[in-house]
Amino acid sequence: NIVSLPMDLNTREDVTRVCDLKGKIALPTIKTSVQAVTLQMAADQQCGNPYAADDKTVSMTHPDAMQALLTGQISSHFTSPPFQEIELKEGKGKIKKLLNSYNVLGGQTSFILLIAFDKFAEENPTVYKAVTLAFEDALNWINEDKKRAAQLYIKSERPKESLEEITAQLSDPDVLFASTPNRIAVYAKFMHKIGTVKRDLDWKAMSMSNLHDKQGS
């Protein structure tokens, strides 16, 4: 795990359930993206049908979907920081948050994961250890000084947001930079339930052994 953070479904529609949405819902990839699976989970919880909103979904990049939502070309966007904050700010009251992924999953949830094959880790233990230690160092470096991390991000990516805005996003208590996997098993259990994956795996079965002493889920 690299970071756990919430994803928001923002909409122009005046509804309270995802299955009541009428217009198009933009997300990175239909059916398989983490946003698509979370939308299915929300539809299952709210409406008793995990596929209730699938026919409304369209694949769009987050920047394109944000512009489409702000200009009214689509009605909803399942997104992530910083796009979800920008949409609410620039929507000027016309756009609202319909749901938050943490509410759907039951708490902080892994958003970005570092993936490797068991075979690679076993055959290249020195490389694997070096990479994992480097990531731990990077996570510690971010957590030590969020403003410093924001400055590096701005220098590298040159975003439109200010240093204060980026620092605030990194300092949000819902954003967690840590290597412990969070609620990946919740996704696996749901995907097994609806037949997307064949096996119901716990979090340790999906994680390398160097993570097994952590309080994952």
**HEC sequence for 175-204:** CECCCCCCCHHHHHHHHHHCCCCCCCCCCH
Contact 139, 155 (CB under 8 A): no
Instruction: For residue 160, give the 3-state DSSP assignment.
Output: coil
- 173, with CB counted inside 10 A (0-12, 13-18, 19+), is exposed
Q: Residue 112 in contact with residue 182, Cβ under 8 Å?
A: no
Q: What CATH number was assigned to the domain covering residues 3-104? A: 3.40.190.10
Return the C-alpha torsion angle 92, 94, 95, 96, nearest 10. 100
Share of the chain above pLDDT 90, in %: 98
Band of pLDDT at residue 86, cut at 50, 70 and 90: very high
* Cβ burial, residue 132 (10 Å; 0-12/13-18/19+): middle
Q: Which amino acid is at 41?
A: M
For the whole model, what pTM was predicted?
Answer: 0.93
What pLDDT, on a 0 to 100 scale, did the predictor assign at position 32?
93
For residue 125, give Cα distances in angstroms to 114, 129, 130, 132, 209: 16, 6, 8, 11, 12
CA dist., res. 25 & res. 30, Å (int): 10
Q: Where in the chain is the domain with CATH 3.40.190.10?
A: 3-104
pLDDT grade for 88, boundaries at 50, 70 and 90: very high
Burial 44-59 (b: 16+ CB within 10 A, else e): bebeeebebbeebbee
Residue range 132-186, pLDDT digits in tens: 999 999 999 999 999 999 999 999 999 888 999 999 999 999 999 999 999 999 9
